[in-house]
Amino acid sequence: MEELDPFDSIEVLFIINGDDEKTKIYLEGLRDKRLVILHCAQKSPAHARNKAVEKARGDWLLFLDDDVRLPKHYLTKALKTLNTHGPDVLGGPEMGYPAESSFQKAYSFCQSHPLVTGHTHHRHHQSGSLRKGDEHELILCHLWIKREIFEEGLRFNDLYYRNEENVLLSELKRGQKKIVYDPKLYVYHFKKDRISKVIQSTFLSGVYRIKSILEFQGLFHPLFLIPPALVLYLVFLSAFAVLSWARLPLGIFVPLLLYGGHVLLTFAHAGIRTKKMSVSLWVLPLVVLIHLSYGLGFLCGLMGNKRRREAGYADKILADNPEGNVLP
């Protein structure tokens, strides 16, 4: 709210998704006339955002996660870009908080590395210059969308518990809307601080990535097939080892050796970039966990029936981890 002090005309809508009395009391204690508190039954984050869209009155809507911190002059930079380049949608990368644990720094590094998150790594670090963007670069934890976009009837798909911005941005790109990525427009985003949270959120990212691909073919990219292919290969290798005992051909281990080299290369790069062994050592297991969790989610989303994907396991994980941050 401090970053908003110079801007009297801004309206701040805070959506409480479900029952959260502590948050309600805290917000009411701020006594800021620009703050509007809305409540909705706990459903998907997309459902809560759509409720905000219905109530918002400004020409521009800025969607922020509740664990995001705006750096100084964020709004000034954003408004300058909006006025200068006239986009329909504007976004930029998210960065880890300056003061994070070694685990969080390692997770942040993994998200920002192309050998871990592929072409979506632009979401998590500053790269290049201001340019046309798409769902591979923009992220929903801070995303500017012109109000008239929603007046045309578009909404976030509230059946998605993850990746809902990917579908909307793909639709906007198909409609020739101007989508801009500004690497200098970043926010600080609190990173997952436990392995269980990393696994849960990454699994859901895989589930809803394949769901979006099946429903909107334009969202497909061959790189998304690598994690599920890794999972299938490891299952095949394990089954082959059990059935064949010690008679395994050496050639079957080539993909495993290549992947091991891939992980070690990422580990070495982490050491060079972070200069902290405590961070680099966390990178090793995190790379593998991210790939396997995403691959398993992708395969479960592909094989599971619609009811199980949308109302079963996804709801259970959401209840355990309602904040749900973004990975491709």
What's the distance, Cα to Cα, between the start and end of the chain in Å?
29
Per-residue confidence (pLDDT) for residue 325, from 0 to 100? 39
Chain position carrying tokens 């790269």: 127
Per-residue confidence (pLDDT) for residue 317, from 0 to 100? 47
Band (pLDDT 50/70/90 cuts) for residue 117 is very high
Instruction: Please calculate the CA angle 8-10-16 and round it to the nearest 5 degrees.
Output: 125
Q: Do 318 and 309 form a contact (C-beta atoms < 8 A)? A: no
Domain assignments of the chain as residue spans, ordered by start? 2-194, 217-320
**Can you tell me the mean pLDDT for 19-47?**
84
Q: What are phi and psi of 76, to 5 degrees?
A: -60, -45
What's the pTM value of the predicted model, to 2 decimals?
Answer: 0.87
What pairs with residue 239 in β-bridges?
A: none
Band (pLDDT 50/70/90 cuts) for residue 4 is low
Per-residue pLDDT tens over the stretch 179-197: 999 999 999 999 999 999 9
pLDDT at 137 over 70: yes
Chain position carrying tokens 């050491």: 271
Per-residue pLDDT tens over the stretch 218-273: 788 899 999 999 999 999 998 888 877 667 788 889 999 999 999 999 999 999 99
Of the candidates 79, 188, 74, 90, the residue with the CA atom closest to the CA atom of residue 130: 90
Per-residue confidence (pLDDT) for residue 2, from 0 to 100? 61
pLDDT at 140 over 80: yes
In CATH terms, 2-194 corresponds, of 3.90.550.60, 3.40.640.10, 1.10.10.410, 3.40.50.2300, to 3.90.550.60
pLDDT at 79 over 80: yes
Stronger pLDDT, 281 or 20, i.e. the higher one: 281
pLDDT at 328 over 70: no
Per-residue confidence (pLDDT) for residue 306, from 0 to 100? 53
pLDDT at 119 over 50: yes
Band (pLDDT 50/70/90 cuts) for residue 7 is low
pLDDT at 310 over 80: no
**Can you tell me the mean pLDDT for 133-151?**
94
- Strands (E) across 35-137 are located at 35-40, 60-64, 68-69, 89-91, 94-96, 131-132
pLDDT at 326 over 60: no
